[in-house]
A and B are shown apart, each in its own frame.
Chain A
Amino acid sequence: MPSRIVAGLGLSHVPSVGVAYDRGKMQTPAWKPLADAYVPVREWLARLKPDVAIVVYNDHGADFLFDKYPTFAIGAAERYAIADEGFGTRPLPEVRGDADFSAHLCQSLICEHEFDLTVCQELRVEHGFLVPMNLCFEHAAGGWPVAAVPLQINVIQHPLPTARRCYKLGQAIRKAVFAYEGNLNVVILGTGGMSHQLQGKRFGYMNESFDRMFLDQIEADPERLADLSHQQIMEQAGAEAVELIMWLVMRGALSLRARRVHRHYYAPMTTGMGLITFQED
């Protein structure tokens, strides 16, 4: 039986969330608004019972350094270790992969849809991947309730893939998933952003109205967002906000009639933290 995409989520992957999570601070006043927003999301995901999560994220110098920096890289392993990204290894169980499903995605995306991915037999995952996993799924000591396929995108060393290219990658992923005879329920997470800038005199810059526009359009008119240039995103929402192109992979993998279920926005410090979820009926 073919597989299907049951849901998609766009969400920020701010590293301080991982720290707050590990230190048991998610119920403090500063973090409770974010924590509360994810309670119904986890319940919803638990009801959807996904077999695999495709997590579209970027590495921040934990496993990819600039000696070789792939534009698109996909995990094809049985398991993914937790990276030490310079602050110690977080106490999280390693993440189960689905190597057969990954192999199918590679075959389909590379040979049929002509996306030339870097294929990784070993990949250590870090906050870009793990913070969304923490927010969306409860793990036990033994592991996570879902297998994962990490999909890493270069959003830090220009030239980056275009927003349009990311959207098309999502559309190709949709076709690849539906062609997989594994009867899997798949969710896809587009992570990163929203507005933020972490260097220069403009450090700390956020733009809530841009972020709200992006949340509106990712639901109603993703084609318009796919037309945004890196320059436009960086000027309007901060240089590091360009991560938002990864949300377009997620949106491209959904049908245009996917129903929006949750939406939230919280911008306490230096990053607009957005959340939007979609379900396929």
Chain B
Amino acid sequence: MGIDLKPIPDTSIFDLRASRRGYRLNKLCGSLCSPANREEFKRDEEAYMNRFSLSESEKRLIRCRDFAGMIAAGMNIYFMLKIGSVTGNSLYRMGAQMRGERYEDFLATRNFKDAV
């Protein structure tokens, strides 16, 4: 059946190829659903990344808090929220970065920016 998804501009579609590519990253993020793991991540990020066998380029994305890069590397947005939370980056901060805007400039584009 010809139902393959076509690319959409400025959009990442999380399909099985992306999921395969981002498997380790998403697995690390999934583990952050436990308070003990979150503490461990905060205590020693490098050791935590080693536990999930991240590649050097994947580690660099996390070190740099490069959220657009993480998505390109196959991170799922809902899993990325978990690493955002543990590193103090809200969805809207990550979103502003992905849009290439300052956080305040992004908020100014919203209908009611207090609904956060």
**Residues of B contacting A197 with CB < 8 Å?**
11
**Residue A61 contacts which of B13, B35, B79 (CB distance < 8 angstroms)?**
B79
* Per-residue B-contact encoding for A171-212, CB less than 8 Å = 1, 0 else: 000000000000000000000000001111111100000000
A62 interface residue per 8 A CB criterion: yes
- From 3 to 30 in chain A, residues with beta carbon under 8 angstroms from any chain B beta carbon are 16, 20, 28-30
**Residues of A contacting B9 with CB < 8 Å?**
202
**Residue A269 contacts which of B8, B29, B32, B113 (CB distance < 8 angstroms)?**
B113
Task: Kindly specify which of B42-50, B51-59, B92-100 makes contact with the partner chain.
Answer: B92-100
A231 interface residue per 8 A CB criterion: yes
A87 to B32, CA, bound (A): 9
A260 interface residue per 8 A CB criterion: no
A67 to B85, CA, bound (A): 22
Residue of B whose beta carbon sits closest to that of A202: B10
Query: Is the beta-carbon distance between A234 and B91 smaller than 8 angstroms?
Result: no
Query: Is the beta-carbon distance between B112 and A66 smaller than 8 angstroms?
Result: no
A49 interface residue per 8 A CB criterion: no
**Residues of A contacting B106 with CB < 8 Å?**
204
**Residues of B contacting A158 with CB < 8 Å?**
5, 13-16
* Per-residue B-contact encoding for A239-281, CB less than 8 Å = 1, 0 else: 1100000000000000000000000000111100000000000
Size of the B side of the interface (Cβ < 8 Å), in residues, is 50
Query: Is the beta-carbon distance between B115 and A16 smaller than 8 angstroms?
Result: yes
A60 interface residue per 8 A CB criterion: yes
A199 to B92, CA, bound (A): 10
Residue of A whose beta carbon sits closest to that of B23: A66
A202 to B95, CA, bound (A): 9
- Distance from A201 Cβ to chain B, minimum over Cβ atoms (Å): 4
Query: Is the beta-carbon distance between B115 and A200 smaller than 8 angstroms?
Result: no
Residue of B whose beta carbon sits closest to that of A14: B115
**Residues of A contacting B116 with CB < 8 Å?**
16, 30, 269
A229-B3 contact in complex given A86-B85, A157-B76, A204-B95, C-beta closer than 8 Å: yes
B78 interface residue per 8 A CB criterion: yes
A187 to B32, CA, bound (A): 34
**Residue B30 contacts which of A31, A61, A198, A238 (CB distance < 8 angstroms)?**
A61
**Residues of B contacting A240 with CB < 8 Å?**
77
B19 interface residue per 8 A CB criterion: yes
- From 59 to 76 in chain B, residues with beta carbon under 8 angstroms from any chain A beta carbon are 68, 71, 76
- Distance from B29 Cβ to chain A, minimum over Cβ atoms (Å): 7
A65 interface residue per 8 A CB criterion: yes
Query: Is the beta-carbon distance between A201 and B98 smaller than 8 angstroms?
Result: yes
A159 interface residue per 8 A CB criterion: yes
**Residues of B contacting A202 with CB < 8 Å?**
8-11
A234-B11 contact in complex given A158-B5, A267-B111, C-beta closer than 8 Å: yes
**Residues of B contacting A268 with CB < 8 Å?**
110-115
A235 to B7, CA, bound (A): 9
A193 to B116, CA, bound (A): 17
Query: Is the beta-carbon distance between A83 and B16 smaller than 8 angstroms?
Result: no
- Distance from A49 Cβ to chain B, minimum over Cβ atoms (Å): 32
Residue of A whose beta carbon sits closest to that of B34: A84
A92 interface residue per 8 A CB criterion: no
- From 122 to 178 in chain A, residues with beta carbon under 8 angstroms from any chain B beta carbon are 156-159
Q: Contacts A84-B35, A85-B82, A231-B6 known; list 8 others, CB within 8 Å.
A: A31-B115, A61-B26, A65-B26, A200-B11, A200-B68, A204-B109, A268-B111, A269-B110
16 A-B pairs (CB sep. < 8 Å) = A16-B115, A30-B114, A61-B26, A65-B27, A66-B23, A84-B33, A86-B81, A158-B13, A199-B11, A199-B71, A199-B98, A202-B9, A229-B3, A231-B5, A269-B110, A270-B91
